[in-house]
Chains A and B, each alone.
Chain A
Amino acid sequence: MSTAGRILAFGLQNQLRNRWIVGYGLLFALLTDALFRFGGSGPRVVVSLLNVVLLVIPLVSVVFGTLHLSNSREFIELLLAQPVSRGALYVGLYFGLALPLAAAFALGVAVPVLLHGGAGSAGLVTLLLSGCVLTFVFTSLAFVAGVHFDDRARGLGMALMVWFAATVLYDGLVLLLATLFADWPLEMPMLAASLLNPVDLARVLMLLSVDAAALMGYTGAVFEKFFGTGAGLALAGGALLTWTAVPFLLGLRGFARKDF
């Protein structure tokens, strides 16, 4: 097994015994189950879950990511004093956290959906995929913040700011712009804005795939209008993949150059 693989295996072993990760998965399971019990059909449950996914996954990922990195600081130093390259260690640490987080979410949602016979619901696969991608994106952002700031409080603060900007602040700004410039053609600026926000991209992706883009959110409607469903899906998906790769590489670069 490669060095990164060994570190990953130890990370998985460590996280699977972590009560918080298990609790996080159970939370999704309870919520999904409850949504089914309160009279929801499959597709409606998926759309209800969407809003939770868009808020909770980025928040949990940034908080977990920064805290995990700062709590592991001494052990990371010990590992770096072994014949281990920084790149391999970073890859192992990252996936050792992002994979259990993504798995807890995916299993937490998928198991009750299967039990309630909602497996064929439109958008379920997209929901699971978007949730996993958001986990990866925000774990990456957390690692960037954690690598950059040695002080735990500042790292966590920075990561929370990113979460706040991408969820609450962004929606407010888009709404404000849309009202202020209601008489202007806003499609292009809105499109650009949504490409800059992974949470909004996930929402667009989700709504395009359940064919409800116009129902929720300004940018979703713009995407549909401009690109049609197919091309819109491809663009949003591509942008989201870029969002996964770029922070990961930034964090890797920072980690490789860091003084511990």
Chain B
Amino acid sequence: MTTAALEVKGLRKTFGRLVALRGIDLSVAPGRVTAVVGPNAAGKSTLIKCVLGLVRPDAGRLTVLGQPVGRDPGYRHAVGYMPQTPRFPDNLTGREVLDLLADLRQDDADDDELLRRFHLDEQVLDKPVRTLSGGTRQKLNAVVALRHRSPLLVLDEPTASLDPMASGVLKDAIRAAAESGATVLLTSHVMAEVEELADDIVYLVEGSVRFHGTLDSLRLKTGEKKVERAIASLMREAA
């Protein structure tokens, strides 16, 4: 049996009286693109933040490629993270941000290809980050996440605020990473994007996993061809 890229067992988290995750079990096989979808406040962010170690679970265990998620930050060498709304220190340049993160990770970085395809040339990278547009910052954010060829990529709404061309470049890069063996965990509200990128779907409602399987098994289960319709039918079922 191969080690799961991400293994979640009995994960629970409450914030005060709000129960965000009520006992999640999940096993994500390596090399697959898994989309985490669900209505607002379903626990998607909390789940992702638990994987990143940003949120400490009340109960349960997480392992990334067999390494426990806990106080030892070492497992995060295997994780590349792309947050939804990037904000970088105002007075640094894009190049300095990339260098800082590479320096902190001490992992090999190989970014020239992606920088070139995003048209992030020296002229752009030498400007202070605060002068860059939201889309350009989002491109930088994608490069930060992808450039270290991490075996697990966690992408939060990756194509939000990207123009169609940059969005296409990013989707190609995500597929290419998956084909070379990386596991991708992404959230998205755009079902067409989920359909295009994902192999598997995890459907969360009120902190529980309602469905976890391939896109085809989702279509089979709901009798809908389009993922958007299939998810909508799951939502109706849950309601």
Contact = CB atoms under 8 A, between A and B. Distances in A.
Chain B interface secondary structure, helix, strand, loop or mixed? mixed
B55 A3 contact: no
Interface stretch (B79-87, B182-190, B191-199, B203-211): B79-87
Contact of A79 (B77, B79, B104): B104
B31 interface: no
Interface in A50-102: 71-75, 77-86
Query: Looking at chain A's contact residues, is the secondary structure mostly helix, strand, loop, or mixed?
Result: helix
Interface centre among A83, A85, A259 (most CB of B within 10 A): A83
A81 B156 CA distance: 13
Contact of B105 (A13, A74, A83, A86): A83
Interface residues of B, number: 34
Contact of A82 (B56, B105, B154): B105
A77 B92 contact: no
A85 B73 CA distance: 6
A85 B81 CA distance: 16
Given A82-B76, A83-B73, A13 B87 contact: no
Contact of A80 (B53, B87, B88, B101): B53
Given A10-B92, A13-B92, A83-B105, A259 B55 contact: yes
A175 B71 CA distance: 49
A44 interface: no
A175 to B, nearest CB: 42
Given A6-B100, A6-B104, A74-B83, A81 B53 contact: yes
A159 B125 CA distance: 36
Contacts of A10: 89, 92, 96, 100
Given A13-B92, A17-B91, A80 B52 contact: yes
Interface of A: 3, 6-7, 10, 13-15, 17-18, 71-75, 77-86, 257, 259-260
15 contacts: A10-B92, A13-B91, A18-B90, A71-B87, A74-B83, A74-B85, A75-B87, A75-B88, A78-B144, A81-B54, A81-B79, A81-B154, A257-B56, A259-B56, A260-B55
